[in-house]
Structure 1
């Protein structure tokens, strides 16, 4: 396994990371079982993968629980990145929320589900237009000082917002949509993106000694050869809501 090192993160991280959206459970991702997910995670650790990226919203808490079960006895071997800022209601509808009190509740819930006393990298999942980034960052810095998180990261934030955040606390990573077919994407699941990865984010993270973390690097299975032109997702599969994987837009990528 190859490992990479950036200035702002002490550990060397495996060049191949394990994205955990796919372990959200069969109610959110077709063809998966918790048993297979746990076995796959454990095989990944045995193969030298030490970076695991998860989020509370993946499976509405389920992915964090599965990861927590899989890493028992191996916590000291891995680097856990999770997120905050997307809440859900009883119907599974999500909303953005980066209020300080909400973040504090989210970290406690994540620690419980993961079965750990700290998260290595805590990322703001999406911007919240109702909350100033400076206010959110103050809470993140507090959590870092309390030992509940070790590093702070941003996911789906513009360079302008990142610069504002960096005036309050150290930001160690940027995450964005990136794969061979989407190098400077303008949207994700019909959500506009206020950043361009190759044009803006790459130079920025290099200049500031940060890590860049791509999400959907395999285009949610397309680049792994798992999706054909006649593939039909069940209604509950999260990929059914991705217009880029469904006709007619799918034809541009297949």
Structure 2
């Protein structure tokens, strides 16, 4: 059965496993998607997610240029009051310029509301802003205005890096979305989790399966040229595709849990984490990911072993051409 946590001190309840909705947006310009998708399959996955107790859906106006939002709005409009929807703003293109002006934020919020068929967003996030842009002013004030108007319940940031997340806490953001997984534990190393917990700030972990590689299904995989994973060097893909084996040498899986559930269980073992948002394209992926909420957290001893494994290995090869929206 799905378990639920609070998103910091916002008062918003979120399912431990959220629905990462980048993939269902479908194709976008360049290698910036998860390849061609089926809207029919995406709708089935969204409905299945709700049936499995997933109530937190994370999207962006960038994903399929609004298509991800439209699918969520169309598919879940009848259960709107039972779910929490988070969207993002700031990008016109994955690798293009950003706009965090008050005018753009407010206009984009209205468009997202229409696509999502709702009159409010539970969470509105700035999408991977360069922190110096926020110093120019206007962005946070625009979010505060939207909150006062009842168009959003809370505002947060999808940070480019855990370090940016730390800086964002001081600016008053109510939630921080950050990369966190077995192969990327920077958020833990820099103290982001502790700082968020101390300040009552929610934490949303994205890429918990490292773009699907930690599920153990992508060895020797050839990706569609429009899939962002095709732009990673083969050496990086191979490293990630086999990384789960390294962690399983440190801590063995219990019973019949899958590799994906093992990886998600790691994220959920930290009390600071409000929700983790693996991408899901099919009902089968929904069932597997949702099952991770039924598992008990790793023990302190097991966590120490998994942290040690991360410190003892390098899981990143420098890459060019990463989408600024998700890096």
TM-score interval for Structure 1 and Structure 2 normalised by the shorter chain:
0.7 to 0.9
Instruction: Name the counterpart of 1:235.
Output: 225
Q: Is the 8 A contact 1:127 1:156 kept in 2?
A: yes
Output the CA distance in 2 between the equivalents of 1:131 and 1:210: 19
Greater relative contact order (CA < 8 Å, ≥ 6 in sequence) = 2
Secondary structure, counterpart of 2:191 in structure 1 = helix
Rounded Cα–Cα distance in structure 1 between residues aligned with 2:70 and 2:210: 24
Write the deviation string for residues 94-136 of structure 1: whole angstroms up to 9, x where unpaired. 3211011111111011111111111000011112444526421
| Structure 1 stretches lacking a partner, 5+ long | 185-195
Between the aligned partners of 1:179 and 1:224, the Cα distance in structure 2 is 12
Q: Counterpart of 2:34?
A: 29
Moved over 4 A (4+): none
What secondary structure does 1:153 align onto?
strand
Match of 1:162 in 2: 168
The farther-off stretch of 174-183 and 127-136 is 127-136
The two structures have a TM-score, normalised by structure 2, of 0.66
- In the other structure, the counterpart of 1:18 is 19
| Whole-Å separation in 1 of the counterparts to 2:165 and 2:84 | 25
Aligned partner of 1:202 among 164, 174, 193: 193
State the partner residue of 2:238.
Answer: 251
> Quick one: which of 39, 43, 62 aligns to 1:38?
43
* Partners of 1:248 and 1:8 in 2: CA distance: 42
Structure ranking higher in strand proportion: 1
User: Could you tell me whether the CA contact under 8 Å between 1:153 and 1:173 is conserved in 2?
Assistant: yes
Structural mapping, 1:100-139, within 5 Å: 100-128=102-130, 129-132=132-135, 134-139=137-142
Which of 78, 86, 89 is the matching residue for 1:84?
Answer: 89
What stretches of structure 2 of length at least 5 have no aligned partner?
A: 243-327
Query: How many angstroms does 1:30 deviate by?
Result: 2.9
Shift of 1:163: 4.2
Cα deviations by residue, 1:7-61 (Å, 9 ceiling, x for unpaired): 4121321111100011012563236211101111101101111000001111111
Check the 8 A contact 1:159/1:200 in 2, yes or no.
no
Between Structure 1 and Structure 2, the one with more helix by share is: 2
Secondary structure at 2:64 match in 1: coil
Residue 83 of structure 1 and its aligned partner are, at CA, apart by 0.6
Instruction: Verify the 8 A CA contact 2:73 2:115 in the aligned structure 1.
Output: yes
Query: Are the structure 2 counterparts of residues 198 and 68 from structure 1 closer, same or farther at C-alpha, using a change threshold of 3 Å?
Result: farther
Q: Report the Cα distance in structure 2 between the residues aligned to 1:117 and 1:43, rounded to whole angstroms.
A: 24
TM-score (norm 1): 0.84
Count of equivalent residues: 232
Secondary structure in structure 1 of the residue aligned to 2:184: coil
Structure 1 residues 29 and 163, CA gap change in structure 2 (3 angstroms): closer
Measure, in 2, the Cα distance between the counterparts of 1:26 and 1:163: 33
Contact 2:7/2:175 (<8 A) preserved: no
